[in-house]
Amino acid sequence: MNAPRIAVIGAGAWGIALAVQAARAGAQVHLWARKPDSLSDTRTLPRLPHVTLPESITVTGDMPARADAVLLAVPMQHLRAVLGHVPPAGPMIACCKGVERDSLALPLEVIASRHPNLPRAVLSGPNFAHEVAQGLPTAAVLACEDPVEARDLADHLTTPEFRLYASDDAIGVQIGGAAKNVIAIAAGATIGAGLGENARASLMTRGLAELGRLSRGLGGRAETLSGLAGVGDLILTCTGPSSRNFSLGLALGRGEALSAILGQRTTVAEGVTTAPAILALARKHDISVPVIETVSLLLAEDIDLAEARDRLLSRPVGTE
């Protein structure tokens, strides 16, 4: 049997990790990079030390013509523009996490607007790129309306170290991936400001309730958020020091200005752009999201840290 052909669009940390994983699973990989030259020369990314691209990965600036699956691993706010150049090469899998700022669309809605007739799926879960690239044990969810399609797509990436679970709740999985980044900023700010571990655990738990309400309100299931794409990713991102969203929150909590933090970074912290977008989505559907709202106000510098803390602590006592 011929090796499956997998295309990966985006050669940031996640695109490279997924390309390495697909190669490990036996695929011939077409890795599209915006700037392919230095990557095709060195075959390494400084942010992923100890990982060298195997020969079965072709690094190129050309889009793929045909593939058994196309993994879209660009930052959420660039997805629509990049998709404008991606031909209908095969089933599309969204690997980015976020909500589009202007349209408030989730990744699969953006893909559907460009390729309405192709199968679509979303891949998400507690997945640091550097660990996947090293082959450390990892689990993730692949969600698609058609569970048979989800299993077929999952087969292209699965190895014993990279376990994929199929789901038919693509909305719940996309909400988990998008909203956990916002809660991780809150968790980081809590630790940075010295508010303690009790506060972080409480924020994570109340944040999880917001993820569940968002999922249900937008047509997904709340239970999906008890899985890898919800609580799994929330635990990783709110506690793993290498999370970009957590570390951005940590710096905010220590009193650094957002512009200064972003000015020192070349990598994406999706929670910054997703916070106002997911808040607007929640308001549109009349869903209560006090933690997300507070993070959004903090990022916009409409409130400071002390006000953010007081806002959450002065809410009326409710039931769980």
Ligand X SMILES: NC(=O)c1ccc[n+]([C@@H]2O[C@H](COP(=O)([O-])OP(=O)(O)OC[C@H]3O[C@@H](n4cnc5c(N)ncnc54)[C@H](O)[C@@H]3O)[C@@H](O)[C@H]2O)c1
CB distance 25 to 159 below 8 Å: yes
91 binds, among ligand X, ligand G3P, none (CB under 5 to 8 A by kind): none
249 binds, among ligand G3P, ligand X, none (CB under 5 to 8 A by kind): none
From residue 175 to residue 204, what is the string marking binding to ligand G3P with x (rule CB under 6 A)?
------x--x--------------------
Q: Residue 180 catalytic?
A: yes
Q: Is 127 in the site for ligand G3P (CB under 6 A)?
A: yes
74 binds, among ligand X, ligand G3P, none (CB under 5 to 8 A by kind): ligand X
From residue 111 to residue 150, what is the string marking binding to ligand X with x (rule CB under 6 A)?
----------------xxx---------------------
Which of 6-14, 59-67, 112-120, 163-171 is the region at the interface with ligand X (rule: CB under 6 A)?
Answer: 6-14
From residue 8 to residue 27, what is the string marking binding to ligand X with x (rule CB under 6 A)?
--xxxxxx------------
> Cβ 100 to ligand X, closest distance in Å?
11
CB distance 202 to 290 below 8 Å: no
82 binds, among ligand G3P, ligand X, none (CB under 5 to 8 A by kind): ligand X
What helix, strand, coil percent values describe the chain, rounded to 5?
50, 10, 40
Strands of the 57-60 sheet, one edge to the other: 57-60, 28-32, 5-9, 69-72, 92-94, 120-124, 138-143, 162-167
CA 97 distance to own-chain centroid: 3
Q: Is 233 in the site for ligand G3P (CB under 6 A)?
A: yes
Backbone angles phi, psi at 253, to 5 degrees: -65, -30
Does the annotation list 80 as a binding residue?
no
Does the annotation list 284 as a binding residue?
no
How many residues in the shown chain lie near ligand X by CB under 6 A? 24
126 binds, among ligand G3P, ligand X, none (CB under 5 to 8 A by kind): ligand G3P
The two tokens of residue 106 are 């989730």
Alpha helices in the chain (DSSP H): 13-24, 36-42, 79-83, 107-114, 129-134, 147-155, 170-192, 197-217, 233-239, 244-253, 258-263, 271-284, 290-299, 305-313
Residues facing residue 142 across a β-bridge? 123, 166
Site for ligand X in 55-114 (CB under 6 A): 73-76, 78, 81-82, 95-98
Strands 138-143 and 162-167, by their bridges, are parallel
13 binds, among ligand G3P, ligand X, none (CB under 5 to 8 A by kind): ligand X
CA distance readout (Å), 21 to 8, 38, 52, 133, 208: 11, 21, 12, 7, 29
Site for ligand X in 231-270 (CB under 6 A): 267-268, 270
- Angle between helix 197-217 and 170-192 (nearest 10): 160
Give the DSSP letter of residue 221.
-
CA atoms within 13 A on the CB side of 298: 35
Q: Which of 80, 156, 180, 213 is catalytic?
A: 180
How many residues in the shown chain lie near ligand G3P by CB under 6 A? 12
165: enclosing H helix or E strand: strand 162-167
Residues flagged as binding site for sn-glycerol 3-phosphate: 97, 125, 180, 233, 243-245
Binding site for ligand X (CB under 6 A): 10-15, 34, 73-76, 78, 81-82, 95-98, 127-129, 267-268, 270
**Residue numbers at the binding site for ligand G3P (CB under 6 A):** 97, 126-128, 181, 184, 233, 236-237, 243-245
For the annotated binding site, the residues are: 14, 34-35, 97, 125, 129, 180, 233, 243-245, 268, 270
Catalytic residues: 180
